[in-house]
């Protein structure tokens, strides 16, 4: 697709998290970097986010630009204006009762969902709608409202009821998170009664925020071409496969890019030693520093494996834990893991580290800088996700020469080229992949890494540096989004409630 239509668009980009203001996962990386890439193409893009305390603190200078009455809030909702990263204009939706809290955007400090999440994100959606209709005293109306994940799922259905609405695009970053609540909640939110219908938001006797985005938006995207196909099937569709098939003419898979200003070992200030594909051997200094930092025996010849991520079933962390007995049986192999999430997985991880202190290091928590140093220190990055809409860690791993070992699903299948003999000989291999999410399959794949590792080092170096030279910057993907925006504007979807 090429972007023939180059006139600047006005885009309102809505998300529940964005780097560098607040982050729990990949959505923040995308929301923090795609808008900048779109701005770079000359578009007038503005990001809107809830005013969490961390976001307000980091978005300075910030000023109040509007104060609105929004259904669901007893107090006026203030709009604060700042910038995302000094460049992209940012609106923060300031409703202190809902957003000024400790914890993260979705859960309290004990990891439990905030009980009023539906109210919080319904208010966020209603404020986005107000901005989108130029009812927020900002003297600006977007051509496009680009929403992301369930927290913004009510925007498209609410806008579908308006005659002068902008076009709507909805991106699914992870279909497993659907914002499903019961009928009492639906009534409490005072949503239009017509939304409680199969054509509307109703979902198996409950209602779902994400269904709003999928059913009502002019265009739907997800974050890799393979995941766009997978979610049409019962295995990956989580009950939405039928609706997605119905909308598949308006569904695109666009691979996430990564921000090389933040993730590049040649300029990464979190690293003890800078390196690039031409100075690959310097990577070993980061390995030794990481071993020291995490209390592992220091040896640059160790085969150091790593994993970073939310400790949830999706990511296949259990499979990594299952193969630890095999890993520690290998000569000179170590494993470092950074993550937080499921209490049981956290405990298993702590136990493994306690049992094999010379071989396994576990850091339970969230640490952005350590994540960078793990990418820089490791030889291999293990990512056995059961499903993976795009996945960013394998892209970071490629750039950092931490050869990814992945289950062949979603974005992992789209971004990692397996080190088969043929691909190795052709010089195009960038990682290792296996095709079934099981500990056995992961182990067989790890055996292939040991085998290559035992060959003369030129083989491993070629594999790692081929990965480092791949280009997953945002430019190509941003152009795809611009095409999608034009398709959404040129082909408004019919409100499904009107065809019912």
Indicate the DSSP class of residue 113: B
Q: Out of 308, 376, 429, 489, which residue is the one contacting ligand ADP (CB under 6 A)? A: 308
Distance CA 305, CA 142 (A): 46
- CB-nearer residue toward ligand ADP: 366 or 459: 366
Distance CA 370, CA 113 (A): 26
Q: Out of 310, 356, 448, 462, which residue is the one contacting ligand ADP (CB under 6 A)? A: 310
Interface positions, 422-461, toward ligand ADP (CB under 6 A): none
DSSP string, 270-287: T-SS---GGGGGGHHHHH
Distance CA 91, CA 76 (A): 16
| Position 462 contacts ligand ADP (CB under 6 A) | no
In the complex, least distance from residue 397 CB atom to ligand ADP, rounded to whole angstroms: 10
In the complex, least distance from residue 431 CB atom to ligand ADP, rounded to whole angstroms: 14
Indicate the DSSP class of residue 250: G
Positive or negative: CA dihedral 46, 47, 50, 53: negative
Distance CA 60, CA 83 (A): 7
Q: Residue 221, Cα to own-chain centre: how many angstroms? A: 14
In the complex, least distance from residue 74 CB atom to ligand ADP, rounded to whole angstroms: 34
249 contact partners, CB below 8 Å, separation of at least 6: none
Stretch that binds ligand ADP, among 45-53, 59-67, 145-153, 304-312 (CB under 6 A): 304-312
| Position 29 contacts ligand ADP (CB under 6 A) | yes
| Position 339 contacts ligand ADP (CB under 6 A) | yes
233 contact partners, CB below 8 Å, separation of at least 6: 241
Lay out the site mask for ligand ADP across 392-411 (x = CB under 6 A, - = otherwise): xx------------------
Lay out the site mask for ligand ADP across 115-154 (x = CB under 6 A, - = otherwise): ----------------------------------------
Q: Angle at the Cα of 169 (from 162 to 120), degrees rounded to 5?
A: 75
Size of the site for ligand ADP (CB under 6 A): 19
Please check whether residue 133 is in contact with residue 191, taking contact to mean a CB–CB distance below 8 angstroms.
no
| Position 418 contacts ligand ADP (CB under 6 A) | no
In the complex, least distance from residue 119 CB atom to ligand ADP, rounded to whole angstroms: 25
| Position 391 contacts ligand ADP (CB under 6 A) | yes
| Position 276 contacts ligand ADP (CB under 6 A) | no
Tokens of 321: 């834990």
In the complex, least distance from residue 256 CB atom to ligand ADP, rounded to whole angstroms: 7
- CB-nearer residue toward ligand ADP: 66 or 338: 338
DSSP string, 63-76: EEEEEE--TT-SSP
Closest CA to 382 of 445, 329, 323, 305: 305
| Position 366 contacts ligand ADP (CB under 6 A) | yes
What residue ranges bind ligand ADP (CB under 6 A)? 25-27, 29, 174, 308-310, 338-340, 366-368, 371, 390-393
């Amino acid at each position: 697709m090429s972007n023939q239509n180059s006139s600047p668009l006005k885009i309102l980009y809505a998300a529940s998290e964005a780097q560098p203001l607040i982050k729990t996962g990949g959505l923040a990386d995308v929301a923090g970097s795609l808008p900048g890439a779109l701005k770079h193409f000359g578009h007038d893009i503005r990001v809107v986010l809830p005013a969490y305390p961390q976001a307000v603190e980091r978005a300075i200078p910030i000023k109040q630009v509007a104060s609105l009455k929004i259904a669901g809030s007893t107090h006026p909702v203030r709009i604060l204006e700042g910038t995302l990263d000094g460049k992209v204009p940012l609106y923060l939706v300031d409703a202190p009762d809902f957003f000024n809290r400790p914890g993260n955007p979705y859960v309290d400090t004990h990891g439990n969902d905030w009980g009023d999440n539906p109210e919080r994100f319904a208010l966020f959606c209603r404020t986005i709608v107000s901005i989108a209709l130029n009812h927020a005293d900002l003297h600006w109306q977007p051509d496009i409202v680009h929403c992301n994940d369930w927290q913004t799922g009510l925007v498209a259905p609410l806008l579908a009821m308006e005659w002068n609405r902008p076009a709507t695009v909805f991106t699914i970053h992870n279909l497993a998170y659907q914002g499903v609540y019961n009928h009492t909640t639906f009534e409490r939110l005072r949503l239009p009664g017509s939304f409680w219908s199969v054509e509307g938001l109703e979902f198996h006797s409950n209602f779902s925020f994400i269904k709003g985005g999928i059913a009502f938006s002019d265009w739907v995207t997800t974050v890799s071409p393979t995941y766009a196909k997978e979610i049409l099937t019962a295995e990956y569709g989580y009950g939405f496969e039928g609706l997605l098939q119905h909308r598949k003419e308006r569904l695109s898979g666009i691979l996430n890019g990564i921000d090389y200003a933040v993730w590049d070992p040649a300029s990464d200030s979190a690293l003890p030693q800078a390196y690039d594909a031409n100075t690959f051997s310097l990577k070993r200094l980061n390995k030794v520093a990481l071993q020291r930092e995490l209390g592992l025996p220091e040896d640059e010849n160790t085969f150091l494996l790593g994993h970073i991520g939310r400790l949830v079933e999706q990511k296949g962390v259990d499979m990594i834990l299952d193969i630890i007995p095999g890993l520690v049986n290998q000569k000179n192999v170590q494993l470092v893991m950074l993550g937080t999430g499921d209490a049981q997985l956290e405990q298993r991880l702590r136990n493994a580290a306690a049992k094999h202190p010379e071989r396994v290091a576990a850091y339970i928590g969230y640490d952005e800088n350590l994540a960078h140093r793990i990418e820089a220190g490791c030889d291999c990055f293990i990512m056995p996700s059961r499903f993976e809409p795009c996945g960013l860690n394998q892209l970071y791993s490629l750039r950092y020469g931490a050869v990814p070992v992945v289950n062949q699903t979603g974005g992992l299948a789209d971004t990692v080229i397996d080190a088969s003999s043929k691909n190795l000989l052709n010089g195009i291999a960038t990682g290792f992949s296996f095709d079934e999410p099981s500990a056995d399959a992961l182990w067989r794949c790890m055996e292939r890494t040991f085998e290559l590792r035992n060959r003369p080092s030129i083989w491993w170096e070629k594999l790692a540096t081929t990965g480092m030279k791949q280009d997953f910057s945002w430019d190509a993907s941003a152009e795809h989004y611009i095409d999608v925006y034009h398709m959404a504007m040129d082909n408004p979807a019919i409100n499904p409630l009107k065809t019912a």
